[in-house]
Amino acid sequence: MSEIITHDILVLGSGLAGLRAALEASIISKGGLDIALVSKVQVMRSHSVAAEGGTAAVLRTEEGDSMELHAWDTVKGSDFLADQDVVDRFVKASPGEIRHLEHWGIPWSRRPDGRIDQRPFGGHSYPRATYAADKTGFFEMQTLYDTLLRYQNTTRYDEWFVTSILVEDGMFRGLSAIDLATGEFHIIQGKALIIATGGAGRISGFTTYSHAVTGDGIAMAYRAGIPLKDMEFVQFHPTGLIPTGILMTEACRGEGGYLRNSQGERFMEQYAPSKMEVAPRDIVSRSIMTELAEGRGFKREDGLDYVHLDLTHLGADKINERLGFIRELAIKFVDVDPVHEPVPIRPVWHYTMGGIHTDIDGATRVPGIWAAGEAACVSLHGANRLGSNSTAECLVWGRITGARAAEYALQREKPSSPPAESTARAKDHIFGDLMKRDGNESIYQIRKELRNTIDRNMGVFRTAEKMQQGLDKIRELKQRYRNIAVRDKSKVYNLDLMYALELGFMLDVAEVTTEGALRREESRGGHARLDFKTRDDDKWLKHTLAIYTPDGPKFDYSQVKITTWEPVERTY
C-alpha cells in the first residue's frame, strides 16, 4: 500500500512561478492553507536561478515609458500571436511585482540617486529591464524563498520525482511521486494543483537549460488530458557560449556589447538597423545563423561555428559591476576574459514559448489545476518572447494562480479517499512496467539520439524535409523506448529509473513540438521556415493545440485574441 499524504494545495515546481504561487496562497489564506512544494531538485537549484539579465516592468512613466508601449512591444515582439488581453493584464501587473520584491528585500541594482535601475533589452522601446547585476533570477528566488519562510504552512518535498497527475471523473485528485532519497512511492492528495515545472529545453543537446528541465510537468499535463499550446515556437537565445551553450545574458548587449563577424563587422546593421544588437531574439538569432551560413563566422571542427560578442569597449569597471558573473563564466569555461577579448557565441535553445494551455487566469481545462511560468502557455509570448518578460510572467502568474488556487481550496473539503483507479495505474506504470523492462535498448543512447535529432532538424531555420526526418526519428525512438532496460533495481537515488521516466516525457514533448512545427506552413517569430519564408495571417493567425491520444497527438487550433492592434509587418 502506498503512503498517502494530504495537503490543501500542491505546487509542482520550486522556481520563480512556484515560489510566488506558494507565497501568494499563503498570503491570501493568512497562513491557513496547508501547502506542499514538490520539486525533483532542492529548492534553490531550480532553473530560475540561472535567469541573469532582468525583469520587465514599466517604472518610469515620467521619463517616457508607458503601459501601452510595453504592451505594443510585447505584441509586436510576439509576431502578433500573443493574446492581447493577456498582454494588457501582464504589463499592468508587472510593476507591482517589482515593488513587492523591493519591499521583501531584493538587492536591485540602483541609479546614483538610489532609485531602482533599468537597462535596455531586445525588442523593448524603453530600458525597462529591472535587474540585480547579472544574477537577477538568483536574487528573486532567494527573496521569495526567504519571504515564504515567514509562513509556517508550507511543507517542502525536495528531490521528489512526480510521475503522474491523477485525474478522476474529470477532476484533479493528486500526484504520484517517488521520494528519490528512499525510493518509496507516494500519493500526494490535494484540492488544487499549480504546475510550475518550467520548460522543456533539455530535449535539445545545445541549450542554456539546467539538466533537470526535461518537460516533465508539460508532458504529465498532456497525458492527463490537458492540451499543449503553440509548442512549435521555441526561442533560440542569440548568445550561447561556445562550446557549452551556457547563457551569455542579453544584458551583455543591453549594456552596449557588440556582435561582430569574422571580418570584424557589426553585422546587425544589415538586419535591424534601428535596434542593432538589441533587436528581438528571433531576429538576432536568424541574423547570426545567416552570417555563419554565408561564411562570415569563425569555423570549428565540431560544426559549432560562431561569431564574437565583443564587450572590450565597455571597460573593466562596467563589466565587473554589471556583468561580473558573465566575466567569471567566460574565464572559467573557455579561458576568455571579456575585458580583453571577444567571447565566442552562437544561437542556443533557450525558451519554450508554448506550454500547457490555460486561460487568462492560468486555469486549465481540468478543474482544480492551474499552470504558471514557462510550463504554461497563457499566450503572453506568442511566437517570440521579449527578453526580461519571462521572469515577470513567472511573478505575475505565480501570484494570480496562487490566489485562484487558494480561493478554490478554501471553499472545498480535503479529499477523504485516494483515487484508486489512477493510483493503481500510476503505480503499475513504474513497478509493473518500467522496472520490469529488460530489453536491449539503452536509455542513455535514446536520450542522446533524441537530442541530436532535435538539434539537427529543429534549429533556427527549418524545412519540411528536415522536420519530417526529425519526426520519423522521434517516432522510431518512441518504439525503441518500449524495449529499454532499467538496470538499476535499487531504491535509493535510482537515477536509472528517473532518467527512464524523464526520457518518456521528453519523447512526448519532442513529438508534439516537431509535428506542430511541421504542420505550421509559415514563418512567424521563433518558427522560421526556409520553404515558407513569410508570415501567413490568413491561414495561420491561430494557436496550435495538441491533444494526447495513445497513438500520438491530435491537433486542433484556437483563435488569437486581438483587442487593440491588427497585425502589421514586423520591422526594426
One-letter-per-residue 3-state SS of 382-405? CCCCCCCHHHHHHHHHHHHHHHHH
Q: Say which CATH architecture domain 420-559 belongs to.
A: Up-down Bundle (1.20)
Kindly list the distances between the CA atom of residue 96 and the CA atoms of 370, 371, 399, in Å, as whole numbers in the listed order: 22, 21, 11
Helix (H) or strand (E) holding 68: helix 67-77
**Out of 124, 173, 253, 281, which one is annotated catalytic?**
253
pTM metric for this prediction: 0.95
One-letter-per-residue 3-state SS of 497-558? HHHHHHHHHHHHHHHHHHHHHHHCCCCECCEEECCCCCCCHHHHCEEEEEECCCCCCEEEEE
Amino acid of residue 505: F
Q: Where are the domains of the chain?
A: 239-347, 420-559
The β-bridge partners of 319 are none
- Decide if 279 contacts 315 (C-beta within 8 A): no
Cα 537 from chain centroid (whole Å): 26
pLDDT at 205 over 90: yes
Q: Is 441 helix (H, G, I), strand (E, B) or coil?
A: strand
Kindly list the distances between the CA atom of residue 3 and the CA atoms of 423, 426, 503, in Å, as whole numbers in the listed order: 11, 14, 26
Would residue 570 show up in a list of annotated catalytic residues for this protein? Answer: no
pLDDT at 500 over 80: yes
Burial class (CB in 10 A: 0-12, 13-18, 19+), 152: exposed
**Can you read off the three cell numbers belonging to residue 258?**
557588440
Spelled out in words, what is the top-level CATH class assigned to the domain 239-347? alpha beta
pLDDT band for position 492 (cuts 50, 70, 90): very high
Location of C-alpha cell 498582454: 87
Contact partners, residue 385, CB within 8 Å, separation at least 6 = 77, 78, 235, 281, 351, 353
**Out of 173, 202, 237, 308, which one is annotated catalytic?**
237
pLDDT at 163 over 90: yes
Helix axes 464-481, 443-457, angle to 10 degrees: 170
Task: Report the mean per-residue pLDDT for the chain.
Answer: 95
Nearest to 80 by CA among 370, 276, 228, 280: 280
Q: What is the DSSP letter of 428?
A: I
Helix (H) or strand (E) holding 216: helix 216-223
pLDDT band for position 51 (cuts 50, 70, 90): confident
Helix (H) or strand (E) holding 26: helix 16-28
Whether the upstream peptide bond of residue 342 has omega within 30° of 0, thus cis, is no
Mean pLDDT over residues 303-325, rounded? Answer: 94
CA 197 – CA 372 distance, rounded (Å) = 8
CA 491 – CA 479 distance, rounded (Å) = 27
Would residue 237 show up in a list of annotated catalytic residues for this protein? Answer: yes
φ, ψ for residue 5 (rounded to 5)? -115, 135
- Decide if 486 contacts 440 (C-beta within 8 A): no
**Model confidence pLDDT, tens digit, residues 327-340:** 999 999 999 999 99
**Model confidence pLDDT, tens digit, residues 342-400:** 999 999 999 999 999 999 999 999 999 999 999 999 999 999 999 999 999 999 999 99
pLDDT at 435 over 70: yes
pLDDT band for position 43 (cuts 50, 70, 90): confident
